[in-house]
């Protein structure tokens, strides 16, 4: 006799369940007294900090997101233009692949001292570090996108009278969109880590600071619950972006076009 299988829940709810289990486990360890509350703050103390400082967390999150969007947008524009050059000639593809192989191994945060020398103090060094960290994964996927397009699809588009921008819009972009969206996912993850790391090292800009700066300040104030609260904000924003916004983008494009299940 075959035992009926249990109904499968969406993966998102399994992720939520795993997060809840991890938070409960953290709270139990914190309350056990094994570690000092200074080095292992409880979830309760962290939530109390977040509830009592909502404006500070909101301002820090919005400031970090602003720098992130500026750096990520710049990297996507430059990466798209550089990747588009690879579709023109094989020599350009070789040049771009060489550029990627040079800059890809370099940690984005290691460029911050040079960014300060080049751009001075302010938001520009943080934006540059975010741009530097995210351009490599996006450019790699754009190069792969344009180099793996089936020539038959291009020929079919031309037979239907598509040329120039119409050919790019109706054939080139849909065919390359799975790689481009994958590249954007990878670039987003690197950019998010890079901007927080740059803020953590660089600190505040003109009296303003993001989530990395908030972690930095709470460290000096010996407020471990505040540090963990800022980390929670970083994680929550990442979860929303990965599991809701980027999933929606993918569902409305490549999955809707039947290019991915």
Domain count, the chain: 1
| pLDDT value for 217 | 87
The residue segments making up the domain with residue 242 are 56-251
Q: Of the candidates 160, 143, 164, which has an alpha carbon nearest to the alpha carbon of residue 152?
A: 160
Using CA atoms, how far residue 55 sits from 49, 64, 166, 199, in Å, is 11, 14, 47, 19
Tokens 């993918």 belong to residue: 250
For residue 103, the SS3 value is helix
- Domain for residue 66, yes or no? yes
pLDDT in tens, 40-54: 888 999 999 999 999
Name 205's bridge partners: 208
Domain CATH number, residue 197: 1.10.3720.10
Burial environment of residue 14 by CB neighbours within 10 A (0 to 12, 13 to 18, 19 or more): exposed
pLDDT in tens, 79-91: 888 887 776 677 8
- Domain for residue 16, yes or no? no
pLDDT in tens, 233-245: 998 898 888 877 8
**Residue predicted with more confidence, 211 or 161:** 211
Task: Record the tokens describing residue 224, joined without a space.
Answer: 């471990």
For residue 2, the SS3 value is coil
- Domain for residue 2, yes or no? no
- Domain for residue 133, yes or no? yes
Q: Is this model's pTM higher than 0.85 or not?
A: no
- In this predicted structure, the answer to whether residue 4 has a pLDDT above a threshold of 50 is no
| pLDDT value for 233 | 92
| pLDDT value for 145 | 82
pLDDT in tens, 9-45: 556 677 788 888 988 998 898 888 888 778 888 899 9
Counting every residue written for the chain, the total comes to 261
- Domain for residue 242, yes or no? yes
Least confident of 127-131, 154-158, 222-226: 154-158
- Domain for residue 6, yes or no? no
| pLDDT value for 3 | 47
List all residues 6 or more positions away from 187 whose beta carbon is below 8 Å from its beta carbon: 72, 75, 76, 79, 134, 135, 137, 138
- In this predicted structure, the answer to whether residue 210 has a pLDDT above a threshold of 60 is yes
pLDDT in tens, 173-196: 777 778 888 888 889 989 999 999
- Domain for residue 191, yes or no? yes
**Residue predicted with more confidence, 164 or 193:** 193
- Domain for residue 166, yes or no? yes
Percent of the chain with pLDDT over 90: 22
> pLDDT tier at 8 (50, 70, 90 boundaries)?
very low
Looking at residue 104, the DSSP 8-state letter turns out to be T
DSSP annotation string for 110-141: GGHHHHHHHH-SSSHHHHHHHHHHHHHHHHHH
């Amino acid at each position: 006799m075959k035992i009926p299988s249990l109904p499968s829940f969406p993966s998102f709810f399994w992720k939520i369940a795993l997060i809840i289990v991890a938070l409960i486990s953290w709270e139990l360890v914190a309350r056990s007294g094994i570690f000092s509350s200074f080095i292992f703050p409880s979830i309760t103390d962290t939530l109390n900090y977040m509830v009592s400082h909502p404006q500070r967390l909101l301002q820090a999150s919005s400031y970090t997101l602003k720098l992130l969007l500026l750096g990520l947008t710049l990297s996507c524009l430059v990466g798209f233009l550089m990747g588009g050059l690879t579709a023109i000639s094989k020599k350009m593809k070789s040049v771009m692949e060489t550029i990627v192989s040079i800059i890809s191994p370099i940690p984005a945060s290691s460029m911050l001292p040079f960014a300060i020398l080049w751009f001075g103090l302010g938001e520009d060094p943080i934006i540059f570090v975010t741009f530097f960290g995210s351009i490599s994964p996006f450019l790699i996927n754009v190069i792969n996108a344009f180099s793996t397009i089936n020539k038959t699809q291009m020929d079919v588009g031309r037979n239907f009278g598509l040329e120039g921008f119409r050919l790019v819009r109706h054939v080139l972009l849909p065919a390359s969109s799975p790689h481009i969206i994958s590249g954007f996912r990878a670039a987003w993850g690197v950019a998010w880590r890079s901007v927080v790391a740059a803020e953590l090292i660089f600190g505040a800009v003109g009296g303003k600071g993001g989530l990395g700066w908030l972690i930095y300040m709470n460290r000096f104030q010996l407020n471990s619950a505040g540090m963990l609260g800022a980390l929670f904000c970083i994680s929550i924003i990442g979860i929303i972006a990965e599991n809701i916004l980027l999933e929606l983008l993918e569902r409305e494009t490549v999955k809707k076009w039947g290019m991915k299940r």
